[in-house]
């Protein structure tokens, strides 16, 4: 083959690749539309963006990414402020955020895929797969000799089930916020010391008393971390390996990982302001550049707005995206139904995070009806947020979902309400 022929073939190959790249990029992203074409007001969405920009200018937050999708199309996708205020880096659309508890819906979907595979059932005792949970005790506070409360334990009346893990009725808790001697015991135990893997973390947690009898009380907890360990045991893979193979890679969620060791991706990690890194007792925002053994199904993932949007569009579609089915529609209907109501014998704990008007499904808070809650969304909407400031909700009635990516533990609840109110003000029909 002559030099000229080789050069011609190389030119043809490069031209073909250059034409294919835009198509590939389009395939990996959701369709876009002007807001008005999907019943949204661009003027009112701009007002929300302007509020975020003003808060950046005032030094309240470093920056954010807002994504609003309706009728299967992204109608608003705006970065504001700085990715890293200290470095002065502008916020890109593909900024990588610590999503913390927005990991929970992903882990729960992964577990439900195993349920659909017939590998486990919601009413299975967790101890079938994790023997360390076979003989749990429940902490009970009683007055001591000096009148101060002391912690005693009683046997759990029934086993923890897989469903309990998914709906936070396992009796497990978190130690980093809220009062109580069981929570104090969690903090003293220092569960993350020495870089444990998921198996070691689960075994450490099982040695501590439960805060409530299983199946009686909604209490936010490490339940989803134990669900992640259960996924490992049932699938025979690490949690990330299973999620990557069955969910993240097929969905095109290339930036959704537990850690960011790659130098090429690290410049896109969003950082909080220096005075806004803590979200609880001894709980500060982690550095995802440092790879650890733990893959926290309850709070360890990082992601981007566009990655998470693909996950939410799949849910809104009833379990499919781009011709691939991930879950059945009846499975999703079960997940987004209320599993925490009085009819199930469950009461809200003292820190009931779903809030008024909301129950809890399998991985999400679920709105019970159009009233009670101080938000304009209607019954059937489901949502969850992360301690680092990220937030999402899906509104099937309005064919809409929203992703807010933000790193601000201090103001996370403020922006959840603000974003909801201003997005619904932009809904024209």
CA 108 vs CA 67, 199, 205, 297, 372: distances in Å: 23, 18, 19, 8, 27
pLDDT for 28 equals: 54
pLDDT for 344 equals: 83
Sequential DSSP letters for 98-154? E-GGGHHHHHHHHHHHHHHTTS--TTSBGGGT-GGGSS-EEEEEEE-TTSSEEEEEE
pLDDT for 428 equals: 96
For 221, residues 6+ apart whose C-beta sits below 8 A from its C-beta are 168, 170, 172, 173, 174, 211
Distance (Å, rounded) from C-alpha 383 to C-alpha 360?
A: 10
Distance (Å, rounded) from C-alpha 332 to C-alpha 126?
A: 22
Distance (Å, rounded) from C-alpha 3 to C-alpha 229?
A: 58
Distance (Å, rounded) from C-alpha 139 to C-alpha 147?
A: 18
Distance (Å, rounded) from C-alpha 38 to C-alpha 249?
A: 29
Question: In 3-state terms, what secondary structure has residue 261?
Answer: coil
* Beta bridge mates, 151: 141
pLDDT for 334 equals: 98
Using alpha carbons, select from 177, 202, 178 the residue that is nearest to residue 191.
202
Tokens at residue 169, please? Answer: 């009725």
CB 378 within 8 A of CB 427: no
pLDDT for 281 equals: 64
Using alpha carbons, select from 251, 255, 256 the residue that is nearest to residue 239.
256
Residue-by-residue pLDDT tens, the chain, 429 positions: 443 344 444 343 333 443 333 333 333 589 999 999 999 999 999 999 999 999 999 999 999 999 999 999 999 999 999 999 999 999 999 999 999 999 999 999 999 999 999 999 999 999 999 999 999 999 999 998 888 899 999 999 999 999 999 999 999 999 988 889 999 999 999 999 999 999 999 999 999 999 999 999 999 999 999 999 999 999 999 999 999 999 999 999 999 999 999 999 999 999 999 998 887 666 789 999 999 999 999 999 999 999 999 999 999 999 999 999 999 999 999 999 999 987 788 999 999 999 999 999 999 999 998 989 998 998 999 999 999 999 999 999 999 999 999 999 999 999 999 999 999 999 999
Question: In 3-state terms, what secondary structure has residue 289?
Answer: coil
CB 389 within 8 A of CB 408: yes
Distance (Å, rounded) from C-alpha 253 to C-alpha 245?
A: 11
CA 85 vs CA 289, 336, 403, 410: distances in Å: 18, 37, 21, 16
CA 269 vs CA 125, 288, 330, 412: distances in Å: 39, 8, 37, 18
* Beta bridge mates, 77: 67
Using alpha carbons, select from 121, 131, 111, 102 the residue that is nearest to residue 403.
102
Write down all domains in the chain, each with its CATH number in brackets.
35-109+237-425 (3.40.710.10), 121-230 (no CATH)
pLDDT for 181 equals: 95
Tokens at residue 344, please? Answer: 């199930």
pLDDT for 1 equals: 45
Among all chains, which residue has been given the structure tokens 């870089």?
A: 195
208-263 per-position pLDDT tens digit: 999 999 999 999 999 999 999 999 999 999 999 999 999 999 999 999 999 999 99
Distance (Å, rounded) from C-alpha 122 to C-alpha 125?
A: 8
Distance (Å, rounded) from C-alpha 52 to C-alpha 184?
A: 37
Distance (Å, rounded) from C-alpha 419 to C-alpha 392?
A: 10
Tokens at residue 18, please? Answer: 């250059």
Sequential DSSP letters for 207-255? TSPBSS-TTTEE---THHHHHHHHHHHHHTS-HHHHHIIIIIHHHT-TT
Distance (Å, rounded) from C-alpha 406 to C-alpha 271?
A: 9
**β-pair type (347-348, 217-218):** parallel
């Amino acid at each position: 083959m002559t030099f000229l022929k080789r050069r011609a073939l190389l030119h043809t190959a490069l031209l073909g690749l250059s034409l294919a790249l835009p198509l590939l990029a389009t395939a990996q992203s959701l369709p876009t539309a002007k807001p008005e074409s999907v019943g949204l007001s661009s003027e009112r969405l701009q007002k929300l963006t302007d509020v975020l920009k003003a808060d950046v200018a005032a030094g309240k937050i470093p920056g954010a990414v807002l994504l609003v999708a309706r009728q299967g199309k992204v109608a608003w996708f705006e970065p504001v402020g700085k990715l890293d205020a200290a470095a002065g880096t502008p916020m890109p659309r593909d900024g990588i955020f610590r999503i913390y508890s927005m990991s929970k819906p992903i882990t729960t979907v992964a577990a439900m895929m195993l349920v659909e595979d017939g590998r486990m059932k919601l009413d299975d005792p967790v101890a079938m797969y994790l023997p360390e949970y076979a003989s749990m005790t429940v902490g009970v506070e009683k007055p001591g000799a000096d009148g101060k409360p002391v912690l005693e334990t009683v046997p759990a009346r029934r086993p923890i089930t897989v469903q309990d893990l998914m709906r936070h009725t396992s009796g497990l808790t978190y130690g980093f916020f809220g009062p109580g001697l069981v929570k104090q015991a969690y903090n003293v135990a220092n569960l993350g010391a020495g870089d444990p893997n998921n198996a070691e973390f689960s075994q450490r947690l099982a040695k501590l008393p439960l805060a409530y009898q299983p199946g009686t009380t909604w209490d936010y907890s490490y339940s989803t971390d134990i669900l992640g360990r259960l996924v490992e045991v049932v699938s025979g893979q690490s949690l990330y390996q299973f999620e990557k193979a069955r969910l993240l890679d097929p969905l095109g969620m290339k930036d959704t990982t537990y850690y960011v060791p790659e130098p090429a991706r690290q410049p896109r990690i969003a950082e909080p302001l220096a005075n806004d890194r803590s979200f609880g007792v001894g709980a500060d925002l982690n550095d995802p550049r440092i790879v650890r053994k733990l893959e926290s199904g309850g709070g360890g993932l990082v992601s981007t707005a566009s990655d998470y949007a693909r996950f939410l569009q799949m849910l809104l579609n009833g379990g499919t995206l781009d011709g691939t089915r991930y879950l059945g529609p009846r499975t999703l209907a079960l997940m987004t139904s209320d599993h925490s109501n009085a009819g199930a014998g469950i009461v809200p704990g003292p820190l009931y995070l779903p809030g008024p008007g909301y129950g809890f499904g399998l991985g999400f808070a679920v709105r019970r009806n159009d009233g009670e809650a101080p938000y304009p969304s209607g019954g059937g909407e489901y949502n969850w947020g992360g301690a680092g400031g990220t937030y999402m909700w899906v509104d099937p009635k309005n064919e809409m979902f929203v992703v807010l990516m933000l790193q601000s533990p201090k103001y996370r609840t403020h922006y959840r309400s603000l974003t909801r109110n201003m997005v619904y003000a932009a809904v024209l029909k």
